[in-house]
Structure 1
Amino acid sequence: MKSVAKRVAVVGVMLASAVHPSNAAELNTMNDVGTAIQACWTPPADAGTASVTLSFSFKRDGTLIGPPRPTAIKVEGGAMAKKSFVDAATTALQNCLPLTFSAKLAQGIAGNVFTLQFASPK
């Protein structure tokens, strides 16, 4: 019975890491941060040439201080299309966290406001 419980626990950990990939690679620069976040982004299939810029701030532990805010939205269609695209970008950002900052980057990153554009392919 114990071996079954161990197998279930191992499978659970494997499934959790498949759903929430580890972002354990230490990031040393803001370019590294942008690249890591963009790697989590998959634009909606029907997005056309849409884009949204999100504004957000990090804590030293790689999580966000509050929710990201859209500061520029360029999406064809109505309010639902805009909401869907913004939600996809926000979800991609939040699913990418927490990030792992180097000690030097963590020291200077906390509380600063950053912006990042999420765009569909052109």
Structure 2
Amino acid sequence: MRVVLFAVPVRASLAAGVLLAACFSWPAVAAPAQTLNELFAQFRACLKSPAETPEGEITLRFSLRRDGALIGRPHITFARLPADDAKKRAALEAVAAALDRCLPAHITDSLGGAVAGRPLTLRLISRASERGI
């Protein structure tokens, strides 16, 4: 499994790209994230891609509140999912479950003030070759 994280400032807003596999499990976090790098390290630590996850790609755009909670619903800006409706539904459910488990993010007040309301981009990629299939 391959994980690459990067952040790119865009105009007045903050855009952060995160390349992850499709499912997460949230471990205990010792201290709240103080920087974007630490926030992305939390997402990386949350990463887990089970074998039954359908192959595909989804890019989400979302915003966090000052306390790390999700604002509204994430927007799917790109999707390459299986043609089979059952597999497509399974992939979308895996992404929704991942967000439920990983959010709210454990962040400091200063990082919360910096990211609050600004768009973040999360790219989820699940490939059979990365799961050892």
Fold agreement, TM-score > 0.5:
yes
Kindly indicate which of the two structures has a greater share of residues assigned to helix. Answer: 1
Match of 1:27 among 25, 33, 45: 33
Matching residue of 1:76: 82
Aligned: 1:95 with 2:101: yes
Kindly indicate which of the two structures has a greater share of residues assigned to strand. Answer: 2
CA pair 102-36 structure 1, distance change in 2 beyond 3 A: same
Match of 1:42 among 20, 24, 48: 48
SS at match of 1:68: strand
SS at match of 1:108: helix
Alpha-carbon RMSD: 2.4
The total of aligned residue pairs comes to: 104
Matching residue's letter, 1:101 = I
Distance 2:63 2:29 in 1: 18
Percent identity between matched residues is: 33
**What residue ranges of structure 1 are gaps of 5+ in the alignment?**
1-18
Superposed CA deviations along residues 98-120 of structure 1, whole A, max 9, x for unmatched, are 22212221111111111111111
SS at match of 1:92: helix
Q: Which has the larger radius of gyration?
A: 1
Match of 1:110 among 116, 129, 132: 116
**How far off its partner does 1:59 sit?**
0.4
TM-score of the aligned structures, taking structure 2 as reference length: 0.64
> Is the 8 Å Cα contact of residues 23 and 96 (structure 1) preserved in structure 2?
no
> Is the 8 Å Cα contact of residues 44 and 85 (structure 1) preserved in structure 2?
no
Distance 1:71 1:38 in 2: 21
